[in-house]
Structure 1
Amino acid sequence: MGKIALHWFRHGLRLHDNTPLQKAIAGCTSLIPLYILDTEYFKPGKVGINRMGFLLDSLKALDTDLRAIGSRLYVAKGDPEEVIGKFIKEHKIGAVSFERDTEPYNKVMDGKIINLTKELNVEAFPLWGHTMFDPEYLLALNNGDAPLTMTSFLRLMSEAGDPPKPIDPPKSLPPPPADSLVCKDVFIFQGVPTLSDLTEYEFNPKDYTTWFVAGEKEGIRVMNEFLAQKRRVSTFEKPKTDPTALQPDTTALSPYITRGSLSSRTFYHGLKDTLKGMKSSKPPVSLKGQLYWREMAYLIGFSVPNFNQMEGNPICKQIPWLTGDDAKALLDKWEMGQTGFPAVDAVMNQLRTEGWMHHLARHLVACFLTRGDLWVTWELGRDVFEKHLVDADWSINNFSWHWLSCSAFFHQYFRCYSPIAFFKKTDPNGNYIKKHVPILAKFPDKYIYEPWTAPKGIQIACACIIGKDYPKPMVEHQFVCQENKSRMKKAYDTSKKRDSGEPPAKKLKQNNLSKYRTK
């Protein structure tokens, strides 16, 4: 009897550039490709329908690709350590491969699986594949620390050089054992589950509305289609893209890279080949720069303790954000697109219905929730993004919320996005708002960003009375923005005194924002 191997698909839901998979199939006569729906990681209420639906569609596409080369995907549900342990014992698994991860929860799980294979005397191949580089290698190059600025990270990249070239997908795979669908005390789906199969989530499949098509083939197709536009690729500068475009003005590859349907190394080397001999924009604003931002976020998330929270986080400013029930009430209106600011509400509606929005749109709504207007802790906003985004990414999400709340990385807290003026630069007619806040679609362009200023007669003619059919603004932006800048200055001054060894000032009070809200 030949060796049976198990490959645990995790982030890398693909066949190309999958080193752990290639290690698993070397010398084995039978392979079990396994995905585990971790019931601790994917909790009901914490993951939205578009994020989960896109994941399931990615698994379905992977299963199709596996069947084309003589295999299939098994999907189990439960704790990965328990599931893999039971598979090893029942099927006499001789080798286990999987892609290592940088998130704290998954780092702990990595250790559990590695220890499990040692205890059971099973060969293990825990290898890196979701980042361009092995993060431990980058930390070693930088004296054990992650760079906290892009300037220093670019110096590190110049020393690291190009990431490894991606490896080709296997042309065939050893077949799974005949009885691999059976494993005692393990819940295994009869095929790839659908949203309706996940009864504990109480999803209504009709609410799955993202326009992204999942899978490795689609991710590669979108990448190749984009790279074929050589002038666009060479001149790309992310800050100059349009957040209000009705079709994506960026690569729209983030869901594929996040789910691992497309390897970041494949995209990197595809860019390099496309730009060979061409004059092009430079990092950090170029497309290569976007991959560097991603790699930097992963390295920081991998090495900084408590990176997903303010408390106990050594690089995060300690700011007295609004928390508790008052924050939750504000958060709910923000999440459901009921702030009364059409630009903000349009972005949040797009987030919930499409599971995606432009990075500058993310900037607008994150600033509005935190330091700009509502003064709600960034941790709550981060959770909402994580729930709905089809490209939800622990490292990038936490990095971005640190940045946009001016808790770390970016400290110009006096620069705030205006929920009224910001989108006018690219969309003076408000077409983005008319699409994503359709109740305002009949308003004249003059009033589309400030519908509460429209005369009552116009509101009646547009069949939308402000304060009845669409909410009045939650806050007076100009007033609370200035108040919050003062709060940020006090928090920064307190931080400076603490860092210099002086006695910290008396803890700042969380002032009630209710007096600023429009009744």
Structure 2
Amino acid sequence: MSGVALHWFRKGIRLHDNVPLTKAIESCSTLIPIFILDTDFLDPKKVSANRLGFLLDSLKCLDEDLQERGSRLIVAKGKPSEVIFSLIEEFKINKLTFERGTEPFNKDLDDELIGIVNANDIEVYSNWGHILFNPDHILALNNGKTPVTMNVFLKLASSAPTPLKPIPAPEKIPPPPADFKPKNVEIFISTPTLSDLKEYGYDPEAMTTWFKAGEKEGIKIMEDFLKQKQRVASFEKPKTKPTALLPDTTALSPYLSVGSLSVRLFYHKLLEVLKSFKRHSKPPVSLEGQLYWRELTYLIGYSTPNFHQMRENPLCYQIPWTEGEAAQEALKKWEMGQTGYPAVDAAMNQLRSDGWMHHLARHLVACFLTRGDLWISWELGRDVFDKYLIDADWSINNFSWHWMSCSAFFYQFFRCYGPVSFFKKTDPNGDYIRKHVPILAKYPVKYIYEPWEAPKNVQEAAGCIIGQDYPRPIVEHKTVSQANMGKLKKAYDKNKADRAKPAKVNAEKLEKPLAKSKLR
């Protein structure tokens, strides 16, 4: 065992079940474990303090785990391909390992890296560590066609090899070169915090999420949830509560997103629990089903051109969303929780403060922004989610916004989330609103979802005057939702006439989706 290996931590910010890292350790005496902060990512207008801070805290935990094993994490700043190529040249690296990415920008980067190492006669190892199934294998099972329904995906998954069993974390890790100071790569002296990135406009005080980062924390949350065996066996995602003051789901999505928790570990631990029950909930609504939804979104994002946009996207209906200054103003009010609808505003306030919200809360606000009320493009809403969510995920985010805007996958546009009625089902007292829109906390139950209906004396007693302390509704829901249904039907008819609907692009006939549940 000799030579210098470079392991690039990407989404797999962990030591357990990290096959590329293990491959690097097996064949080197010196290992450079690196994470590269792309400068394009360091923009508070695109990436919130919560999202970046959670990532940085995850890196700090990884560094601590590496130090326990005789190594340390090196965090560089720059373009990944440039950083890696520079390190290869300077330190005579003879092996590169990393986890492959399914997103188009990551696929391009992977191809570029493989080209670099091949040109320099360097051994390279990469694998699909962020998902359960090899996407190319699933596509091959479907004759190269992208499955776009859960029915089809479940059939393909049942024919695919069983996801690999997770491997344990290494006990010892070779150290990086002594006094590691690259000539042409900017590295941080220690794992950076938001305070180290003030030059980019980040304020440490703006990080308000309550989620604790790290591999150990992710595993602990998983284990604590799986101990509730009956809850696991009967879990049905659509029946969980979006208004619960503490997460009514696993709350593992942030750890799966950055890769602090291996999806393979979660999958196999889950199956162990389910084996002890003769009867349990089934996909797509079960906990196992949530992992399959995640796989499906990754597969669609991997194989669909321009999946991140409406235009030139073969799966997406072309819809004439509202544009211009008025749309931008409405978008900002939606983002900042100022629509005048307490349920919508509470969810958006939770998004900004916690960096997370229940998937049904995401459904409510996404429907409101797009087809339900404001008639604003799903692409703009997607960008807001991408900014604030600590579990932000390119594939899941794009898939969800396609779905909730009725642009693809789900076409029952006459089914619309009510910004007054929806949360009442699980929170008739309005406690979720009182927490996340505190200015309304003293409103009586009768008016908590419709404060504009309260008489003036009730508003005064609650200490919140509508139109002064809290906005009036930005639109009249019943009126605009009906109008939007008509516009969507018209857009559907035009798409069909133009032969642009997804079924024309995918030879597979679209089926009625089994459920609206997706992993969060």
Corresponding residue number in structure 1 for 2:423: 423
In 1, the alpha carbon distance for the partners of 2:272 and 2:284 equals 19
In 2, the alpha carbon distance for the partners of 1:125 and 1:161 equals 21
Contact residue 5 and residue 94 of structure 1 kept, 8 A: yes
| Structure 2 residue 356 is the aligned partner of structure 1 residue 324 | no
Corresponding residue number in structure 2 for 1:84: 84
* Aligned-pair CA distance for 1:162: 2.4
In 2, the alpha carbon distance for the partners of 1:481 and 1:161 equals 45
Corresponding residue number in structure 1 for 2:518: none
In 1, the alpha carbon distance for the partners of 2:54 and 2:331 equals 25
Judged with a 3 Å threshold, the aligned counterparts in structure 2 of structure 1 residues 197 and 249 are, in CA distance, closer, same or farther, namely: same
Taking structure 1 as the reference length, the TM-score comes to: 0.95
Partner deviation per Cα, 1:31-83 (whole Å, 9 max, x = no partner): 01000001134444210010000000000000001011111000000001110
Judged with a 3 Å threshold, the aligned counterparts in structure 2 of structure 1 residues 500 and 211 are, in CA distance, closer, same or farther, namely: closer
Taking structure 2 as the reference length, the TM-score comes to: 0.95
RMSD between superposed Cα atoms in Å: 1.2
Q: Which residue identity is paired with 1:38?
A: D
* Aligned-pair CA distance for 1:128: 1.3
In 2, the alpha carbon distance for the partners of 1:109 and 1:396 equals 20
Corresponding residue number in structure 1 for 2:268: 269
Partner deviation per Cα, 1:241-270 (whole Å, 9 max, x = no partner): 000000000000000000100011111100
Matches within 5 A, 1:104-503: 104-180=104-180, 182-278=181-277, 279-499=279-499
In 1, the alpha carbon distance for the partners of 2:44 and 2:480 equals 35
Q: Which residue identity is paired with 1:227?
A: L
* Aligned-pair CA distance for 1:315: 0.6
Partner deviation per Cα, 1:409-454 (whole Å, 9 max, x = no partner): 0000010000000000100000000000000000001000000000
SS at match of 2:94: strand
In 1, the alpha carbon distance for the partners of 2:323 and 2:126 equals 39
In 2, the alpha carbon distance for the partners of 1:39 and 1:26 equals 32
Judged with a 3 Å threshold, the aligned counterparts in structure 2 of structure 1 residues 500 and 344 are, in CA distance, closer, same or farther, namely: closer
- Once the two structures are overlaid, the 10-residue window that deviates more, 491-500 or 277-286, is 491-500
* Aligned-pair CA distance for 1:157: 1.1
Contact residue 46 and residue 387 of structure 2 kept, 8 A: yes
In 2, the alpha carbon distance for the partners of 1:104 and 1:323 equals 27
| Structure 2 residue 66 is the aligned partner of structure 1 residue 71 | no
Q: Which residue identity is paired with 1:162?
A: T
SS at match of 1:396: helix
SS at match of 1:98: strand
Q: Which residue identity is paired with 2:70?
A: G
SS at match of 1:40: helix
Partner deviation per Cα, 1:459-497 (whole Å, 9 max, x = no partner): 111111000000000000000000000000000111111
In 2, the alpha carbon distance for the partners of 1:500 and 1:309 equals 15
Partner deviation per Cα, 1:323-347 (whole Å, 9 max, x = no partner): 2322211110000000000000000
Corresponding residue number in structure 2 for 1:511: none
SS at match of 1:384: helix
Q: Post-superposition, which runs of at least 4 consecutive aligned residues in structure 1 deviate over 4 A?
A: none
- Percent identity, aligned pairs only? 64
Corresponding residue number in structure 2 for 1:57: 57
* Aligned-pair CA distance for 1:126: 2.0
Contact residue 314 and residue 500 of structure 2 kept, 8 A: no
* Aligned-pair CA distance for 1:200: 3.4
Contact residue 98 and residue 126 of structure 1 kept, 8 A: yes
In 2, the alpha carbon distance for the partners of 1:327 and 1:116 equals 45
Q: Which residue identity is paired with 2:359?
A: H
- Once the two structures are overlaid, the 10-residue window that deviates more, 43-52 or 456-465, is 43-52
Query: Unaligned 5+ residue runs, structure 1?
Result: 502-519
Partner deviation per Cα, 1:273-294 (whole Å, 9 max, x = no partner): 1111302100000000000000
Q: Which residue identity is paired with 2:128?
A: W
Partner deviation per Cα, 1:287-313 (whole Å, 9 max, x = no partner): 000000000000000000000000000
Judged with a 3 Å threshold, the aligned counterparts in structure 2 of structure 1 residues 500 and 87 are, in CA distance, closer, same or farther, namely: closer
Corresponding residue number in structure 2 for 1:505: none
In 2, the alpha carbon distance for the partners of 1:2 and 1:339 equals 62
Partner deviation per Cα, 1:354-400 (whole Å, 9 max, x = no partner): 00000000000000000000000000000000000000000000000
Contact residue 41 and residue 47 of structure 2 kept, 8 A: no
